[in-house]
Amino acid sequence: MISVNPKGEVWVFAEQHEGKLEDIGLELLGRARMLGDQLGVKVGAVLIGDNIKGLAQKLVHYGADKVYVVQHPLLGHYQTNSYSKVIYDLVHKYQPQIMIYGASSCGRDLAPRVASAVKAGLTADCTDLQIGDHENKSEGKTYNNLLLQIRPAFGGNIIATIINYDRWPQMATVREGVMPMPEPVVTRKGEIVEEQIQIGKEELPIEILREHRQPKKVNLKASRIVVAGGAGVGSKENFRLIWDLANSLGAAPGATRAAVDLGFIDRDYQVGQTGTTVRPSLYIAIGISGAIQHQAGMAESQKIIAINSDPQAPIFDVAHYKIVGDLNDIVPKMIKAIKARV
C-alpha cells in the first residue's frame, strides 16, 4: 500500500486492445477530470501496450493532464501478471491517490491482482464516484475528501457507498456505460511521460493460443432511443413488434434477461445488471415487469415509457408515461402515430 497522499493524482487505466482505445477509459477520464478538479490535483492516464504512444494525445483530449505510456514488445497482448506488475511499479513511483479501471472483463481481471499486490482496497463495479467526507464515530474522527465508491449490491437491492481512508490508492472498477462520455477538446494540452519498465518472460506465464473479439452487434450505449421488450412480449415472433417500433424511431432494440433466456433475442441486446447499462433520451419498456436487476440498467434514462397489462408492474414506478393495456394493440398505434408525423 501507499500512505494517504492528498496531493496524489487521480489515475485512469486506459484500456486498449490491438492499438484501439476502449470507450470505457474515455468515459472514466470524464469522471476523473471532475474528481481531479474538485481535489485540485492532476489527472493521469496509464496506457500500456506495444507501439501505442500514438493513442496518448486522444487521452489528453478526453481530459488527461498526463499520460504515462509504457511500451514494450512483451506488452502487446494483455496479460494479468505483466500489466499488474507495470501498474504496481507506477503506483509506487508516483503515489496516485485514486486509481480507477473499467469493470470490463480485462479491468476486473487486472484490478484485483493489482489491489492484492499493492495491499490496497478495491471496490468492484461502481456506478458512481464522488468526493466526500467520512465521519468515523467510534474514532471521533472525520476523514475529508475521500473517494466515495458507490455501487449496487445484493443483486441490486441495496446501494452501498464504500470508502478507503488508510490504505491507498483508493481503487475502484467502474461499470461500462454509466459515466457519460466527455466531449473531446482537441486544443487541450497534456504531458506525455514515457516510462521504462523491466519486464521478463516470468511475467508472461500464459500463452495465448487463439483469440477472437467480435464487435457487439448492437451499440446500445450509443443509442438515443432504446425500445426494449420483456417476457410479456410472449414469443420470438411477437418480438417483431419491438423491432418494428425500434425501426420506426431509428432506435436500438433491447431486452430483459427473461426475454433473452426465453430465446426472443440475442444476449447482446440485454439491458440490466448483467447486461448493458443504458441512459438514453427515451427508453420504451414493453411487456417488462421491471425487476430491480433490469431497472439497474435503465432507470437513469431521461424519459421512460412503460407499457404493461398489469397496472401493478414495478416498471410503472420509474416510468414517466404509463400505458396500461395490451401491447399488441398499443405498439401498432404508436408506430402509426410516429409514421403520421413524417
Residue in 6, 20, 321, 328 binding another protein, rule: CB under 8 A: 321
Nearer to another protein, 5 or 81 (CB): 81
Nearer to another protein, 43 or 330 (CB): 330
User: Which H helix or E strand runs over 122?
Assistant: strand 122-126
Nearer to another protein, 191 or 261 (CB): 261
Distances (CA, A) of 262 to 118, 229, 298: 44, 12, 20
Rule CB under 8 A: which of 216-275 touch another protein?
Answer: 216, 224-225, 249
Rule CB under 8 A: which of 299-318 touch another protein?
Answer: 299, 302-303, 305, 314, 316-318
The number of beta carbons lying within 10 Å of the beta carbon of residue 267 is: 12
Nearer to another protein, 189 or 339 (CB): 339
The number of beta carbons lying within 10 Å of the beta carbon of residue 220 is: 24
Provide CB contacts within 8 A for 186, sequence distance 6+. Answer: 61
Residue in 139, 183, 207, 237 binding another protein, rule: CB under 8 A: 207
The three three-digit cell numbers of residue 169, written as one number: 490508492
- Partners of 98 in the beta sheet? 10, 170
Q: Would you count residue 148 as binding another protein (CB under 8 A)?
A: yes
User: Applying CB under 8 A, which part among 6-14, 29-37, 63-71, 156-164 lies near another protein?
Assistant: 156-164
In the complex, what is the shortest distance from the CB of residue 79 to another protein, in angstroms, rounded to a whole number?
A: 9
Nearer to another protein, 59 or 106 (CB): 106
The three three-digit cell numbers of residue 263, written as one number: 430465446
In the complex, what is the shortest distance from the CB of residue 20 to another protein, in angstroms, rounded to a whole number?
A: 12
Nearer to another protein, 183 or 211 (CB): 211
Closest CA to 167 of 140, 146, 138, 152: 146
Residue in 128, 161, 193, 279 binding another protein, rule: CB under 8 A: 161
User: Applying CB under 8 A, which part among 46-54, 68-76, 164-172, 184-192 lies near another protein?
Assistant: 164-172
Nearer to another protein, 132 or 184 (CB): 132
Residue in 164, 223, 270, 277 binding another protein, rule: CB under 8 A: 164
Rule CB under 8 A: which of 101-140 touch another protein?
Answer: 104-106, 108-109, 111-113, 115-117, 119-125, 132, 134
- Partners of 285 in the beta sheet? 228, 306
In the complex, what is the shortest distance from the CB of residue 114 to another protein, in angstroms, rounded to a whole number?
A: 9
d(C-alpha 4, C-alpha 114), whole Å: 18
Q: Would you count residue 165 as binding another protein (CB under 8 A)?
A: yes
Rule CB under 8 A: which of 14-43 touch another protein?
Answer: none
Q: Would you count residue 166 as binding another protein (CB under 8 A)?
A: yes
8-state DSSP, 182: P
Q: Tell me the site size for another protein, rule CB under 8 A.
A: 87
Phi-psi region of 125 (alpha: psi -120 to 50; beta: other; left: phi over 0): left
Residue in 139, 183, 211, 237 binding another protein, rule: CB under 8 A: 211
d(C-alpha 244, C-alpha 60), whole Å: 41
The three three-digit cell numbers of residue 227, written as one number: 425500445
Angle at 293 between CA 231 and CA 282, to 5 degrees: 75
DSSP string, 215-252: --S--GGG-SEEEEE-GGG-STTTTHHHHHHHHHHTPE
Rule CB under 8 A: which of 180-199 touch another protein?
Answer: none
8-state DSSP, 281: S
8-state DSSP, 74: G
Nearer to another protein, 8 or 190 (CB): 8
